[in-house]
Each structure stands twice: as structure tokens, then as C-alpha cells.
Amino acid sequence: MTRLKSESDYVPTLTGTLTRGDYNEGIGYYTTHTDVSDLLQCGAFTASSTPDKAAIGKIIQRTEGRIDDKLKVSHRPEIIEKEVHNFDPFQHGAYPVRPSKDYIGFIQLNSEKVRKILRLEVWQGDEYVDLASASCIYTPPAVAISGTFKLTFAVGGLTFELTENTLNGFYDHFGQKTTVLEICAAINEVYPSKTAPFTGQRTKKQTRDAADTRNISDFFYACPTEDGKSVYISSKLPSDAGTICTLSQLIGSNTTSYSFVDNQNSGRTEDYWTINEEGKIFFRTNYPYQTNHSIRVTYERGSSRVPAAIHEAATKLVAAEVLVTDDNTILIAESGNIDITKKHEILTTEANAILDGKKNLIYLID
């Protein structure tokens, strides 16, 4: 059973181009700088306050990480990359034995609440074959380009541009495989830790569309191919809807276009089907290659709703940290009833009690 929604679910009120996860603006997935200042009954955090809303955003960001680590689940989108599974049909396929069973075997992912399977790679004896999403394989030039070199992604009227030798684009003068890693980091909008020693980059990449409303990583996921010479790009749109996406390469005045191809044949009567809430993938008629490490899964996990309890716990933990960092009561004045130390203790105790009540329990019946 999955709860679709609750009237108590947390949905922040956002204006303009602000989106969830805009931490520089003090906007998280579980709480915002406004919720924190309301709880503390202090002045609003702004770009010029002390601390400013960007500093509050950093506290929110690490608080949300601590909450996810404690609960072992996430209520914000996270990508799990290349989770490896063995396929043993005799172990998974034989139980439970019943006439109505419509699968020959299944795998259990390490996470529940799967939003989208981005890649389902099944070993076929000589290569992995992807059975999920819509994808495109792009191979950059083997040598550095001295003139104009740009990649443009288009989806649903939005366009995202990655330009050669720019901070948020990609550097291509350290070899083809380094260029591939750079493009992957740019599409996934992450800090390019694998290439930073060569390129000297110090911040994570970020690419917005022309209207500055969405991020490229909202729509695409990228990783290197097996040989490291090409970029394998998957669409994050539901099922195989990513076939509407396109990629174009501009080198000098020459343009090359690439299409996204449908890989997916999933459903209760198709090659495989899933129970995303439980993290199960069932193979209906054909066995994957029966050997160790025969399945690799890349997926986006995270509940689609933020319960009120998670919002309350996050807001209280962020407020408690603000109290600790508020030197000489610049922001929060001492009251005659409860001092700041006691306020901190109350907030953290209440927040941890909430989180303890949200942990998953496993019951073993003897």
C-alpha cells in the first residue's frame, strides 16, 4: 500500500524561478529559510542578513543529508549508480511456488521508493544490454577542438547548452576519455572530482535552460560507456517518453543531430515489470545471463511526498544549529523563560524523537 498524499504533506510556497533544492536561496526539499525564521520568531533571512539565506541553505542541505542517513530512505531525488546484482533463478524464481506466478525470477534493489529506473543493464555473455528508458550514445572528437564546440540538448521546448572549455561546460584538451567524464559531470551537474586535478575546477557544474527555469540534470543522466570513449545519456522522463529529447553537436559551422532511442519494453505482459515502492524488478519470460554480477541498475530513488513530520524535524534541526552558531545572541535574544542552550536541547530532542518514529522496522517471527 502506498499513500498518495496527505493534507499534512509539506509543499513549500515558491515564487518566480525558485525551485526545491535551490540551497543558495535557502530553499531545501524538507524546509526553507522562511520556515526556520518563523520557528525562531526572528527577522527574515535575506541576502544581507547575518547569517544570510545562502548560509541557512547550507545548513538545510547537510541537515537533509543527516536525516536521509538516519532513516535510510530519502524524500528527495537521489541517483543510485550501477548497483550490481547476481541473478540466481533457482533461488528467486522458485519461491513462492504457485500457479499464478507470472515471472521466472526477480531482483531486490537495495532501496525502496524507486522513482525511475534509468538503466537496467543485463549481461548477455559479451556485453551489457540496457532495457530501460530512452537513451543516446554520443562520442566526442578524439582530439581537442580549437574553434566553436557546443552541445545542445532539447526537451519539451527547453534547451540546455554545454560549451567547450567553460566552467559549467566541458574541457576537451586532456584526451577523449577525460572529455567524456567532463560531459558526464556537466549533464549530472556534479563536482568533476575525476577531472578536477587536470582542469583545475573548484566548484560543481550547473547548467540552466535559456529561460533560467530548469536544470539539465532534471531531465538527463549521463555515464561513460564501457570503453570510456563515449557518453551514454539516459532520459529521466517517465518510461520511454524520452524519445522526444534530442542532442545536437556544433563544431565550427557543422551541426550533427542525435536522437534518443527507446530501450524499454516493460509492463506486466512485457519483458519485465516492477514494484517501484518495494524496489523489486521481475523478469517475466527470459532469464538474464545466469552468472555473478549479471545485472547493473541505475535508478532515481526518493519518495514523491515530504510528510509533515519530516518537515518539522528538519526545521527544528536547522533552527537548533542556527542557535549554536548565533554568537553573542546577535540573532536570537535570550528570553526570561528559556535560555538559548535549553532551546537548542528542546529542538534537537523533539526532532530526533520524530525521526526515531519514522524509521523502518523489521519484524522477525519465530
- pLDDT tens track, the chain, 366 positions: 667 778 889 998 888 878 888 999 999 999 999 999 999 988 899 999 989 999 999 999 999 999 999 988 899 999 999 999 987 666 554 545 555 667 778 889 999 899 999 999 998 888 899 999 999 999 999 999 989 999 999 999 999 999 999 999 999 999 999 999 999 999 999 999 999 999 999 999 999 998 888 999 999 999 999 999 999 999 999 988 999 999 999 999 999 999 999 999 888 888 889 999 999 998 887 767 677 888 999 999 998 899 999 999 999 999 999 998 765 445 655 555 667 788 888 899 999 999 988 876 554 455
Residues 201 and 156 in one domain: yes
The H-assigned helical ranges of 154-255 are: 176-188, 196-199
Domain housing 297? 78-132+265-301
Residue 281 bridge partners (DSSP): 107, 274
Distances (CA, A) of 91 to 84, 86, 193, 255: 17, 11, 39, 51
Q: Quote the number of domains for the chain.
A: 3
Q: Do 99 and 242 share a domain, yes or no?
A: no
Q: Which three cell numbers stand for residue 60?
A: 538545510
Compute the C-alpha angle 161/165/169, nearest 5°: 30
Within 10 A of 194 (CB to CB), how many other CB atoms are there?
A: 15
Residues 59, 52: Cα–Cα separation, whole Å: 11
| 99 backbone dihedrals φ, ψ, rounded to 5° | -60, -30
Is the pTM for the entire model greater than 0.75? yes
Domain end position, chosen among 205, 238, 262: 262
Q: Is the same domain home to 237 and 314?
A: no
Is there a single domain that holds both residue 311 and residue 345? yes
pLDDT at position 341 is 81
Q: Are 28 and 69 in the same domain?
A: yes
In a domain, 160, yes or no: yes
Reduced to 3 states, what is the DSSP secondary structure of residue 324?
helix
Question: Whole-angstrom Cα distance, residue 258 to residue 263?
Answer: 15
The separation between the first and the last C-alpha atoms of the chain, rounded to the nearest angstrom, is 25
Residue with cell 549481461: 123
Instruction: Say if residue 140 is preceded by a cis peptide, omega within 30 of 0.
Output: no
Of residues 229, 217, 225, the one with CA closest to residue 140: 229
Question: Are 316 and 274 within 8 A, CB to CB?
Answer: no
User: Which of 232, 262, 292 is the C-terminal boundary of a domain?
Assistant: 262
Same domain membership, residue 118 and residue 97: yes
Same domain membership, residue 274 and residue 166: no
The predicted structure's pLDDT at residue 43: 87
**Claim to verify: residue 59 and residue 200 sit in the same structural domain:** no
Regarding whether 165 and 126 lie in a shared domain, the answer is no
**DSSP H helical segments within 78-151, as ranges?**
89-92
Query: Is 241 part of a structural domain of the chain?
Result: yes
d(CA 282, CA 294) in angstroms, rounded, equals 15
Considering the domain architecture, whether residues 170 and 103 belong to the same structural domain is answered as no
Q: Which among 180, 209, 204, 206 has a CA at the least distance from the CA of 193?
A: 204
